[in-house]
């Protein structure tokens, strides 16, 4: 496949340097990492990783559970390659599992890709055992990605409405990231996506020089902006806590009540 080598190289780059200032999505990875930490805290029993992709968190979480299952959409799963293949290929609105059979559901960076989140949450509620948890994270201020599968962005108020109407108890919803991080990562991601666009399009003399400019300026931008952004955020820790109007990411934990089980959970 064309550009497979570059894609694999990008994955390796992200796995190695994703949590450092040398990566263009440093602030995004930093914000999203809270969801992974929550998964480590709440995961147990039989776990279903919905929208698992190449299952990048499996090594960290699998030792904490009895069974780790990955689910991905049949079409979307073709975009990923990795060490593990999904155990289940299905749409999240029609999961081929009996009700009340899963103890933990991971929904990391998935909700924004669902065109019918209400049906998806109802199906997740159905397969989850009473007392089980859903641990998730999703972007808020982040560029369009994985097109044409990027469907929505949600405020905390809308997330609460979705979760409560689906029968879940909300353990927590937490805003991650900041205005500084959002600005820096937007600039860096713009450079990276524009380089990808140029490589995928017909090359002209003008686009060649544009590509050359971006290739030269991007590493400098990534390191300088990330470093000073991180420095500003460090000094910001000494300031009073203000409302976060510019979250990069939201992480959340949901709980299925043990009593008063919704009829959706009894569907077989």
**Is the confidence at residue 104, as pLDDT, over 50?**
yes
Sorting pLDDT into bands at 50, 70 and 90, what band is 54? confident
Cα-trace Rg, the chain:
20
Give Cα 189 distance to the centre of its chain: 16
Sorting pLDDT into bands at 50, 70 and 90, what band is 78? low
- Say which CATH topology domain 31-178+248-266 has: Rossmann fold (3.40.50)
- Encode the chain in three state secondary structure: CCCHHHHHHHHHHHHHHCCCCCCCCHHHHHHHHHHHHHHHHHCCCEEEEECCCCCCCHHHHHHHCCEEEEEECCCHHHHCCCCCCCCEECCCCCCCCCCCCEEEEEEECCHHHCCCHHHHHHHHHHHEEEEEEEEEEEECCCCCCCCCCCCCCCCHHHHHHHHHHCCCEEEEEEEECCHHHHHHHHHHHHHHHHHHHHHHCCCCHHHHHHHHHHHHHHHHHHHHHHHHHHHHHHHHCCCCCCCCCCCCEEEEEEECCCCCCCHHHHCC
Sorting pLDDT into bands at 50, 70 and 90, what band is 149? confident
Sorting pLDDT into bands at 50, 70 and 90, what band is 260? low
Query: For 154-206, what is each residue's pLDDT tens digit?
Result: 999 999 999 999 999 999 999 998 899 999 989 999 998 999 899 889 999 99
- Measured in residues, the chain has a length of 268
CA distance 71 to 145: 20
Among the listed ranges 20-24, 78-82, 225-229, which one has the minimum average pLDDT value?
78-82
Structure pTM?
A: 0.85
- What are the residue ranges spanned by the domains of the chain? 31-178+248-266
The mean pLDDT value for 78-86 works out to: 75
Give the closest residue to 109 by CA, choosing from 248, 235, 11, 243. 248
Sorting pLDDT into bands at 50, 70 and 90, what band is 237? confident
CA distance 155 to 175: 10
Sorting pLDDT into bands at 50, 70 and 90, what band is 261? very low
The mean pLDDT value for 116-124 works out to: 96
**Is the confidence at residue 127, as pLDDT, over 70?**
yes
**Is the confidence at residue 268, as pLDDT, over 50?**
no
């Amino acid at each position: 496949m064309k550009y497979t080598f570059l894609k694999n190289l990008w994955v390796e780059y992200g796995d190695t340097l994703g949590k450092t200032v040398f990566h263009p999505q440093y602030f995004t990875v930093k914000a999203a990492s809270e969801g992974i930490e929550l998964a480590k805290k709440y995961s147990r029993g039989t776990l279903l990783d919905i929208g698992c992709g190449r299952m990048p968190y499996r090594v960290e979480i699998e030792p904490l559970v009895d069974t780790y299952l990955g689910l991905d959409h049949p079409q979307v799963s073709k975009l990923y390659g990795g060490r593990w293949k999904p155990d289940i290929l299905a749409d999240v609105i029609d999961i081929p599992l009996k009700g009340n059979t899963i103890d933990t559901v991971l929904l990391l960076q998935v909700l924004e890709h669902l065109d019918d989140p209400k049906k998806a949450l109802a199906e997740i509620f159905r397969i989850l055992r009473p007392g089980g948890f859903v641990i998730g994270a999703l972007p808020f201020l982040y560029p369009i990605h994985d097109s044409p599968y990027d469907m929505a962005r949600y405020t905390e108020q809308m997330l609460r409405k979705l979760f409560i109407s689906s029968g879940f108890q909300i353990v927590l919803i937490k805003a991650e990231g900041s205005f500084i991080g959002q600005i820096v990562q937007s600039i860096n991601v713009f450079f990276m996506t524009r380089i990808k666009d140029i490589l995928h399009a017909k090359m002209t003399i003008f686009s060649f020089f544009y590509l050359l400019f971006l290739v030269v300026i991007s590493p400098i931008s990534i390191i300088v902006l990330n470093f000073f952004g991180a420095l500003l955020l460090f000094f910001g820790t000494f300031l009073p806590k203000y409302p976060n109007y510019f979250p990069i990411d939201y992480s959340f934990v949901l709980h299925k009540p043990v009593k008063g089980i919704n009829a959706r959970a009894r569907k077989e």
